[in-house]
Amino acid sequence: MQTPPAGALRRAHRGVVATFALVGVVNGLLAARLPGLAAKLGLDTGDVGLVILSWGVAATLTMQCMRWLVAALGNRVLLRVGTPLVTVCVGLIGLSPSFPVLLGAASCFGVASGVAEAMMNAQGSLVERRSGRPLMNGFHAGWSAGAVAGGLLAVLLAALDVPYTASVLGVAAVSLPLALAVGRTYLAEPDEDANADADETEQRRNLPPVVYLIGAVAFMALLVEGLVADWSGLLLARELHTTEAVAALAYPLFEVATFTGRLCGDGLRLRFGGRALLATAGVATAAGVLLVVLAGSAAWAVAGFALTGLAVCVVVPLCMSLAGAAVPGRSDAAVAQVSAIGYAGLLAGPVLIGFVAEATSLRTGIATAVGVALLITVGAARMPRDAAAGGGPGAGRSGEPAGAGPRAHPEEPAGAGGA
């Protein structure tokens, strides 16, 4: 594989970080201002659940098609289309005058998100391989930083009583030209990468059970992350009767905690081992969710969301690393399978909690995540020791691809996030 010029590689690295951050900003704004959307159209909890379901199903189905589309078009072309389309669809959500129109706009946003989320990971993987060192955690930390910025912007706009529609349209108008500009930095994949997916179906048929166990753990972690993104504001607004500005604060604080945890995750793994870190993360996540459920005030609920973010954030990067090392010579197939299972938790899991909340209460729906988090710890105990131990300083010498191991890289450029 021919290595691109250093300047092109640096530009692509910055471009992928910027793409993750831009998508994070959009998602942070939408999540934090869900109460504003509900108030604008008079939506109840069930209606909000259907909106989340519409974009979750659309995104999930789109992601399942990506391996065929990327084989034909390449991730650079799809990402150049998908990221700007995300910003356009955000504008459509802001302009929706009624619930049926909103469902259509949310479905369009789900399709655009499915393309962008899948392809920015593919482009990030390409940059990582060309760089010869792990960068993916840094890219995801960039997403967290963007989500924090988007959430805090939502807090500011809500505090200033800026209407929901004006807030969303303003962000969409600024984000669209940025998304178009950053597309110029992406790397073109070589022919062998574009054709590699031809054997993916056959490879997936014979993946060992541990890959599906890792995928199930990723599913549970992303379910918890999606729960906070989609329901934290409504819990504060409707159960604890806070203002919209205070309700919008929960998600950006969750993402601040997530970003912080990702900065420390690799060091913790090297020191304590992957299986111990995964088990501890599950217990700490359960404690954070329990604090939210039992909170009698907004301050305690926000603290619970922050603890949840600090704990759960290390699970998915660790799962992706484990998947890459689980099947030597077939890392791409294993990571693709874990990603497909995991993102289903992020996109569809909160909908299930929404239905529980509709039948009982929002606190009860969120409380189900305590059991989900504890299942992460159960899954950690069933991981093969060698696969989940983190490996220490010698990790990554058995031939896994760049980025699969838990090695620290203090020379990583500023702006990558460096989880």
We report the CATH number of the domain holding residue 124 as 1.20.1250.20
User: Within this chain, do residues 220 and 315 fall inside the same structural domain, yes or no?
Assistant: yes
**Residue 114, pLDDT score:** 84
Residue 13 inside a domain? The answer is yes
Residue 419 inside a domain? The answer is no
Residue 193 inside a domain? The answer is no
pTM for this predicted structure: 0.70
Return the closest-CA partner of residue 292 out of 218, 378, 217, 353.
Answer: 353
User: Within this chain, do residues 168 and 95 fall inside the same structural domain, yes or no?
Assistant: yes
Return the closest-CA partner of residue 343 out of 232, 220, 228, 244.
Answer: 220
Residue 407 inside a domain? The answer is no
Summary count for the chain: helices (H), strands (E): 18, 0
- The 8-class DSSP code of residue 237 comes to I
Residue 120 inside a domain? The answer is yes
User: Within this chain, do residues 144 and 270 fall inside the same structural domain, yes or no?
Assistant: no
Residue 41 inside a domain? The answer is yes
User: Within this chain, do residues 352 and 221 fall inside the same structural domain, yes or no?
Assistant: yes
Per residue of the chain (419 residues), give pLDDT as tens. Answer: 455 677 889 999 999 899 999 999 998 898 888 888 888 888 887 788 788 888 878 887 887 777 667 667 777 898 999 999 999 999 999 999 999 999 999 999 999 998 888 788 777 777 877 887 667 677 778 888 888 888 889 888 888 888 999 999 999 999 999 999 999 999 886 554 444 444 444 444 567 898 889 889 999 999 998 888 778 888 888 888 888 778 877 877 887 898 888 888 777 877 887 788 899 999 999 999 999 989 888 889 999 999 999 999 889 878 777 776 676 655 555 666 777 788 888 766 777 887 888 787 888 888 888 999 999 999 998 875 534 343 433 333 333 333 334 333 333 333 333 33
User: Within this chain, do residues 249 and 360 fall inside the same structural domain, yes or no?
Assistant: yes
User: Within this chain, do residues 236 and 371 fall inside the same structural domain, yes or no?
Assistant: yes
**Number of domains the chain contains:** 2
User: Within this chain, do residues 60 and 113 fall inside the same structural domain, yes or no?
Assistant: yes
User: Within this chain, do residues 304 and 350 fall inside the same structural domain, yes or no?
Assistant: yes
- The 8-class DSSP code of residue 403 comes to T
Residue 253 inside a domain? The answer is yes
User: Within this chain, do residues 308 and 381 fall inside the same structural domain, yes or no?
Assistant: yes
Residue 158 inside a domain? The answer is yes
- Measured between alpha carbons, how far is 63 from 348 in angstroms, rounded to an integer? 13
H-helix or E-strand spanning residue 314: none
User: Within this chain, do residues 56 and 160 fall inside the same structural domain, yes or no?
Assistant: yes
**Residue 159, pLDDT score:** 86
Domain boundaries, position 243: 200-394
User: Within this chain, do residues 163 and 204 fall inside the same structural domain, yes or no?
Assistant: no
